[in-house]
Amino acid sequence: MSRNVHGFDLEARLNRRTFLKGCAMAAAALGLSDDMFPKLVKAASSPRRPPVVWLHFQECTGCTEALLRASHPDIGRLILDIISLDYHETVMAAAGNQAEENLRSTLERYNGRFLCVVEGAIPTKDGGIYCKIGGRTAMEILEDVAPKSAAVIAIGTCASFGGVQAASPNPTGAVGVRDLFNARPVINISGCPPNPVSFLGTVLHFLTFKRLPPTDQLGRPLFAYGRRIHDHCERRPHFDEGRFADQFGDSGHREGYCLYKLGCKGPETYSNCPTVRFNDVGAWPVGIGHGCIGCTEPRFWDTMTPFYERLPHVSIPGTNGISSSADSAGSKILGITAAAIGIHAAAGIGKRFLKNKPAETDNT
């Protein structure tokens, strides 16, 4: 089945099994209980899909790429299945005046009811002239669109905190959405790029409970950014035992030892990367041998660089007899257990639901 959205055909309908697997993954990421799962599936299956206006400002489009090219299981298609993507400059067929007309008519038709997704930072210097689309600055577009939305999702570290554009000396005065706008709820799905499951979970939470999920003080959903990378990392037992890779390719690196001395910023970074991972190969940066560069954190281009030098304020085993600061073996065990629960929950919820619902054939 395909839908036509302002000239954009979405070959997005998934078979039931894949659809439920994706919902189960989002439910597990959200930490929902089993009895909430049918409610989430019902919300995701609703024929009344929420209209989405997706704005692109200063960015590399990696957030969109990560989302639309995601598998695990085919998160991109699932997202296109549960929302109505009415305006998105990268993927819509319309261009020029027709694209502008699409935006105008969507705002008029769905005033107060659509989700506004912002990808990219907003330049503010010199009246915002460093990012203009259709003759309007990013600031003007945001000021036009965001107040008419039901809620705003800032996707990526650029839209959340300014990202690479805001790195010192920030020549265009780039800022994140919340620095300019707070008349509607704004949630930050940070990461460069962020994990599509965090975006999916946020949208499904909004559809199921009619509100955005609870956030930390940086506006990031707690379900995805409430835990520190270091506490869930599979290399953490090596950290605790003082086993470190000293160089890329050395024996410690090949043995999977901790990457702290190679510059890993996991001890100061909050994200679900070690537990949710990326795509169906289950990879994440530290898992494949590169330290975390802290891409979910504000100003990480300034505060987490040089990327290949160790963090200065982390107590490591064997120094002053202290293990890692606020994170003892207890939180390590808790973290590993939580990760295991997350994975099992996704598999278990999906299986239980599938038992009662026969799989349908792919109808795309």
Q: Which spans of this chain sit near ligand FSX (rule: CB under 6 A)?
A: 59-63, 119-120, 156-158, 163-164, 192-193
User: Which C-beta is closer to ligand SF4: that of 148 or that of 253?
Assistant: 253
Is residue 252 part of the contact set for ligand SF4 (CB under 6 A)? no
Rounded CA separation 257/243 (Å) = 6
> DSSP label at 278?
B
- 3-state DSSP call for residue 80? helix
Rounded CA separation 116/362 (Å) = 30
Element of type H or E holding 4: strand 3-5
272, 253, 273: which is closest to 263 by C-alpha? 253
Is residue 266 part of the contact set for ligand SF4 (CB under 6 A)? yes
Is residue 239 part of the contact set for ligand SF4 (CB under 6 A)? yes
285 binds, among ligand F3S, ligand SF4, ligand FSX, none (CB under 5 to 8 A by kind): ligand F3S
Rounded CA separation 255/174 (Å) = 42
With CB under 6 A as the contact rule, the residue among 286, 293, 345, 346 that binds ligand SF4 is 286
Report the residue number whose CB is nearest to ligand F3S: 292
- 3-state DSSP call for residue 266? helix
235 binds, among ligand SF4, ligand F3S, ligand FSX, none (CB under 5 to 8 A by kind): ligand SF4
Least distance CB 334 / ligand SF4 (angstroms): 15
Residues that bind ligand F3S (CB under 6 A): 191, 229, 269, 271, 273, 284-286, 292-293, 295-296
181, 147, 168: which is closest to 53 by C-alpha? 147
17, 11 contact by CB (below 8 A): no
273 binds, among ligand FSX, ligand F3S, ligand SF4, none (CB under 5 to 8 A by kind): ligand F3S
Is residue 229 part of the contact set for ligand SF4 (CB under 6 A)? yes
User: Which C-beta is closer to ligand F3S: that of 53 or that of 304?
Assistant: 304
Choices 88-96, 212-220, 256-264, 295-303; region in contact with ligand SF4 by CB under 6 A: 256-264
List, as one string, the DSSP characters of 102-114.
HHHHHHHHTTTTS
With CB under 6 A as the contact rule, the residue among 263, 267, 285, 294 that binds ligand SF4 is 267
Choices 2-10, 64-72, 133-141, 234-242; region in contact with ligand SF4 by CB under 6 A: 234-242
Residues in the chain: 364
Rounded CA separation 158/74 (Å) = 25
Least distance CB 297 / ligand FSX (angstroms): 12
- Which amino acid, residue 146? A
CA-to-CA dists, residue 151 to 122, 136, 178, angstroms? 18, 22, 12
Which positions touch ligand SF4 (CB under 6 A)? Answer: 229-230, 233, 235-236, 239, 258-260, 264, 266-267, 286, 291-292
